[in-house]
Amino acid sequence: MIIIMTPGASDVSIAAVTQRLETMGLKAHLSRGIHQTVIGAIGDERRINETGLEALPEVDRIVRVMRPYKFVSREGRDHGSVVEVCGIPVGGQQIQVIAGPCSVETPAQMEEVATAVVAAGCRMMRGGAFKPRTSPYAFQGVGVEGLVMMKEAAKRHGLPIVTELLDVRMLDTFLEYGVDVIQIGTRNMQNFELLKEVGRTHTPVVLKRGFSATISEWLMAAEYIAAAGNHNIIFCERGVRSFEDAYRNMLDVTAVPVLKRETHLPVIIDPSHAGGKAWMVPALARAAIAAGADGLLVEMHPRPVEAWSDADQALSPTELNALMVELRGIATVLGRTL
């Protein structure tokens, strides 16, 4: 069960609810967001006197949640949540395409990227300053310098940035340099200490699915972030590992309707890491939007053959433009906009 407080609820009212739960033999878990405070009641819910709780000052409503992921569950909600990124909605009617290179390379490259992203009609830019690579000898990214390059190019074009956080020790640096959306990659989906620390911020988080994670495990990973107070979470399906070797990963499009049933949070898809080849990306992107995804995370490089990492899966600016035209048609059919 969760107790949802009215916006701006006072500490006195929150303490009163907490104390009432404790007198009923339950533990109260406080999750304080920017706009709303939610108190989770942990224990034997049969002991809860709902009438007594609802009568307490500044209690908005009480929702019984049977799922183990109480804060991210869709139970008790009539509609999905929208995560705002610098005023841009992720979720709801408008579909977002976040485009940019696998890795940040040079200031000139990032300027070209930002120009191409805006020209294609995308509203956010992605890029990797720190790169988790299978081989310790592969290119690992340009680090903090990359954050500066990406942020400066994005600022000139009015674009929020999405970039991956690998190490909890870099979280303060990400916040200092104004990262707009923190991406938690597939390898860190169950790095619970990292999830808890990101949960203590209010920066939107893109949570990618682990290589072999079940949907339940993925939802519980999101619960770590939400339970710490950050409810600005965006799920990102990027393909799971299978026996097939004809493509990089197996895109689980089925995850979109399943997540839409289980959680109120928005869901996007990364077709680039799923297929692993640029020629596959448009088909997977079209399937994702048709299945109900709220957006895409797409790799684009001004000159893919020169990319320092993942060159095979990056679209060119021309290919991104063509894809956006196709996606607008699908969005229109579904009664959505791009």
Tens digits of residue pLDDT in 142-177 = 889 999 999 999 999 999 999 999 999 999 999 999
pLDDT on residue 48: 72
In a domain, 72, yes or no: no
In a domain, 273, yes or no: yes
Structural domain boundaries, residue 44: 2-63
Query: Are residues 172 and 54 part of one domain?
Result: no
Query: Are residues 204 and 118 part of one domain?
Result: yes
At residue 237, the 3 state secondary structure works out as: strand
Query: Are residues 87 and 42 part of one domain?
Result: no
Question: CA 191 to CA 173: how far, in whole Å?
Answer: 19
Residue (of 127, 129, 128, 116) closest to 157 by Cα position: 116
Query: Are residues 163 and 107 part of one domain?
Result: yes
In order, the DSSP letters of 255-267 are HHHHHHHHBSS-E
Per-residue pLDDT for 60 more than 90? no
| pTM, rounded to two decimals | 0.85
Rg (CA), the chain: 21
In this prediction, residue 197 has a pLDDT band, given cuts at 50, 70 and 90, of: very high
In a domain, 78, yes or no: no
Question: CA 47 to CA 20: how far, in whole Å?
Answer: 11
Pick the more confident residue, 71 or 52.
71
For the record, the structure tokens of 162 come out as: 């999405």
In a domain, 68, yes or no: no
Q: Residue 315 in contact with residue 281, Cβ under 8 Å?
A: yes
Q: What CATH number is associated with residue 15? A: 3.30.70.1140
The CA distances from residue 298 to 87, 157, 158, in Å, are 21, 18, 19
pLDDT on residue 22: 87
Task: Write the single-letter amino acid at 255.
Answer: A
Please tell me the total count of domains within the chain: 2
As to burial, measured by CB atoms within 10 angstroms (0-12 exposed, 13-18 middle, 19+ buried), residue 179 is buried
In this prediction, residue 309 has a pLDDT band, given cuts at 50, 70 and 90, of: confident
Query: Are residues 266 and 136 part of one domain?
Result: yes
Q: What CATH number is associated with residue 162? A: 3.20.20.70
Running DSSP on this structure, what letter comes out for residue 313? G
The CA distances from residue 288 to 50, 185, 222, 236, 294, in Å, are 41, 19, 21, 11, 9
Helix (H) or strand (E) holding 183: strand 181-184
In a domain, 185, yes or no: yes
Query: Are residues 192 and 329 part of one domain?
Result: yes
Least reliable range by pLDDT among 16-25, 60-69, 178-187, 236-245: 60-69
pLDDT digits (tens, 9 = 90+) for 255-289: 999 999 999 999 999 999 999 999 999 999 999 99
For the record, the structure tokens of 196 come out as: 């808890």
Query: Are residues 286 and 225 part of one domain?
Result: yes
Spell out where 209-328 has E strands.
233-237, 267-269, 295-299
At residue 210, the 3 state secondary structure works out as: coil
For the record, the structure tokens of 9 come out as: 């609820």
Query: Are residues 34 and 96 part of one domain?
Result: no
Query: Are residues 146 and 31 part of one domain?
Result: no
In sequence order, which residues have a C-beta less than 8 Å from that of residue 140 and are 6 or more positions away? Answer: 130, 131, 133
Per-residue pLDDT for 71 more than 90? no
Query: Are residues 90 and 42 part of one domain?
Result: no
> What backbone torsions phi and psi does residue 105 show, to the nearest 5 degrees?
-120, -60
Running DSSP on this structure, what letter comes out for residue 73? B
Query: Are residues 246 and 145 part of one domain?
Result: yes
In a domain, 240, yes or no: yes
Per-residue pLDDT for 131 more than 90? no
Running DSSP on this structure, what letter comes out for residue 298? E
pLDDT on residue 39: 86
pLDDT on residue 88: 97
In a domain, 151, yes or no: yes
In a domain, 270, yes or no: yes
Query: Are residues 329 and 194 part of one domain?
Result: yes
At residue 331, the 3 state secondary structure works out as: helix
